[in-house]
Amino acid sequence: MIKILFAPLQGYTTGIYRKAHAEIFGGIDAYYAPFLRIENGLPREKDLRDLENNEKCTNATRTNIKVIPQIIANSAQEFKTLSDALFQKGFTEIDFNMGCPFPMQVNRHRGAGILSDINAVQEIMDEIGKLSSAKSGTAVETASIKFSVKMRLGQETPNDAFALLPILNDTPLTHITLHPRLGKQQYKGAIDFNSFERFYNECRLPLVYNGDITTVSQINELERKYPKLAGVMIGRGLLARPSLAAEYKDATPQDLLGKIQQMHQVIFDNACKTYQGDSQILSHVQSFWDYLESSLPKKIFKKIKKAGKLDEYKEAVALLK
């Protein structure tokens, strides 16, 4: 049985969401937090607060969930600044994003935008080598610092991934997560399984597959076809079916709608404690339903999404019972 990793999605897999999912559904070996980035020369405070929220949420019965923060950077200096900020928070395992396809990041030479720059990637991998051979001098004095990479095949061409692979193979990474699309595709178009298979065969590090997983049968097929695969990372598929990992691990039927309502209640309670005012709370809780539209009656889904006040929202959600 391979590992199931929950992919980070900005605006969705928040600290509140991660804790609620672990409590109600589980089945996840590690939750990856949306990337921390530089803003006005410093690590973005909003992203750091979200990592802290993972510890503040209440009601959770599975408190020891594994959360791995992710960073996005366009240079070794940015990478070191962000890593240092996370070390100060006590994190000793970090994922580096070389796959974000959104133009705002790509145009700043981050995410998939850095894949064609061998020199910049080499400098960042060199920094990983230095940090990995050191010890954390922060909260956990004796813990080794670990790094992983999440990437795409390239921004414009899959040649990028294969040009970088010798560098990555020589870097002390715990694993590489590969989404076998190009950055310019974003989340559309066919997955390039031919390139994935080549990468799988040439990669000397543990490899995790990411991309368009929505069913247990897909996980089983990947496990069968790629026996050396270290795991799968799932994002949108878990947002749409939060029970997916548990179904793979336990092979037991899930009361999906009932558990979705339980998970929502945990998220709602913690959002009310974390945020102030109808607008702030609604902006957090309404996004919970975005990928769940197919699981809900259409009229109720529309009422939930159109609610402009907290009372209206609670009335709409109550219709599910």
The pLDDT tens digits of the residues spanning 252-283 come to: 666 889 999 999 999 999 999 999 999 999 99
CATH number, domain 3-250:
3.20.20.70
Residue 62 is predicted with a pLDDT of 40
Q: Side-chain half-sphere of 309: how many Cα atoms within 13 Å? A: 3
Q: What is the rounded end-to-end Cα distance, in angstroms, of the chain?
A: 36
Per domain, the residue ranges of the chain are 3-250, 256-318
Positive or negative torsion for Cα 140, 74, 238, 202: negative
Residue-wise pLDDT for 146-169, tens only, equals 999 999 999 999 999 999 999 999
Read off the pTM. Answer: 0.92
Could you tell me where the beta strands, DSSP code E, fall in 185-242?
Answer: 207-210, 231-234
Mean pLDDT over residues 89-93, rounded?
A: 92
Q: In Å, what is the CA distance from 311 to each residue of 108, 270, 307, 318?
A: 41, 17, 8, 11
Instruction: Transcribe 262-311 into DSSP letters.
Output: HHHHHHHHHHHHH--HHHHHHHHHGGGGGGGGGGS-HHHHHHHHH--SHH
